[in-house]
Amino acid sequence: MKALVFEKSGLESLELREVPNPSVGDTDVRIAVKMASVNPVDIMSVESLKVYPIPHIPGSEFFGVVEEVGKKVSHVSPGDRVAVYTRLFDGTCRSCLRGDQTYCKAGKRIGVESQGGYAEEIVVPGTNVVRSDLPDEILASLPIAMLTPYHALKSAGVSSSDVVVVVGASGNTGMFAVQLGKLLGATVIAISAKPWVKELGADYVLDYQEAEEAVREITFGDMASVVVNSLGGKYWDLSLRLLGNHGRLVTFGSLTGGNVNLNINDIYLKHASIIGTNRGSMGDLMELLKIAGKLQVRTWKVFPLEQGRFAMEQFKSSDRKGRIFIRIN
């Protein structure tokens, strides 16, 4: 089969190669990958993360159609479209038994610590797939871009009484944080420099310069009850300034830097909480499947697998207006 493969870190080493088809064990499924997306973790996996095995196939977010199932798999059959939970878990450790597959003691990220989905086929455990007839771009956005903000908003306990500010609302996760916040009934304020963010249905769309004053005005001085900051350091101070009393600042990424200054007074005087979250569980994915059909995916460009390296290079383009997908079969 064809796959994007690299042996040495760096996008320039990524190339399309013919590699052996993966074999299917009794509890596995073989999937013909239909569509994969490009996420920050994919760029990091090629550029800097310690990956396994080598030569390595990146691709941590994708969906496909089942081609073959192992002897012990009965919940899906060849021909089924499936959403894929892209973290491997054993199902038996104490974290898994609590339903917290993200922290499986033997867990691995597909596309980082095991072969990913930028390939014509992938084999994953049957326990990682769920049948779904949702559209392509939605299934190809579920495992990371939708699951991460869904879990983050849940962890922050977002409800209809909240004012949720999403910093970086045009981002891979930001665009879904905005829409999921609305689905949970909250008032949503999107902060972004990109005009197309208005299409996502936020109650207010603000640019960075005006954000603090505008949020003060919109909330009659209360400020936000929840701030979602997936971008990290660059917007940390702004995020804290936007947060009202009893506010919850939820963070799950550090694209613009992971080291920040923190004055403890800003936290306790506001009775604030800082919540770190990390993707989501299989249970979150199951919940998300029920509502994901209501989410719109802002797609910028779709490339064939042959142009996978170019697709990844384009991720850093300042012109990017939405998601980048790789169409495979």
For the CB of residue 215, give the shortest distance to Zn ion in the complex, in Å. 41
88 is a contact residue toward Zn ion (CB under 5 A): no
Alpha-carbon gap, residue 100 to 92, rounded angstroms: 11
> What residues between 112 and 141 interact with Zn ion by CB under 5 A?
none
Alpha-carbon gap, residue 153 to 201, rounded angstroms: 17
For the CB of residue 225, give the shortest distance to Zn ion in the complex, in Å. 34
Among the listed ranges 83-91, 161-169, 254-262, 301-309, the one in contact with Zn ion (CB under 5 A) is 83-91
96 is a contact residue toward Zn ion (CB under 5 A): yes
Number of residues that bind Zn ion (CB under 5 A): 5
Residues 6+ apart with CB under 8 A from 175: 145, 169, 197, 200, 297, 298, 322, 323
Residues 6+ apart with CB under 8 A from 249: 226, 227, 229, 239, 240, 243, 272, 273, 274, 275
Closer by beta carbon to Zn ion, 103 or else 196 = 103
Answer yes or no: are the C-beta atoms of 129 and 31 closer than 8 Å. Answer: yes
User: What is residue 174's DSSP assignment?
Assistant: H
For the CB of residue 15, give the shortest distance to Zn ion in the complex, in Å. 34
Among the listed ranges 22-30, 86-94, 150-158, 320-328, the one in contact with Zn ion (CB under 5 A) is 86-94
Alpha-carbon gap, residue 145 to 274, rounded angstroms: 21
Q: Binding Zn ion by CB under 5 A: which of 46, 104, 184, 189?
A: 104
Among the listed ranges 92-100, 132-140, 232-240, 281-289, the one in contact with Zn ion (CB under 5 A) is 92-100
Tokens representing 11 are 């996008």
Closer by beta carbon to Zn ion, 52 or else 257 = 52
CB atoms closer than 10 angstroms to residue 133: 8
Q: Binding Zn ion by CB under 5 A: which of 1, 93, 274, 275?
A: 93
Alpha-carbon gap, residue 97 to 309, rounded angstroms: 39
29 is a contact residue toward Zn ion (CB under 5 A): no
The site for Zn ion (CB under 5 A) is made up of 89-90, 93, 96, 104
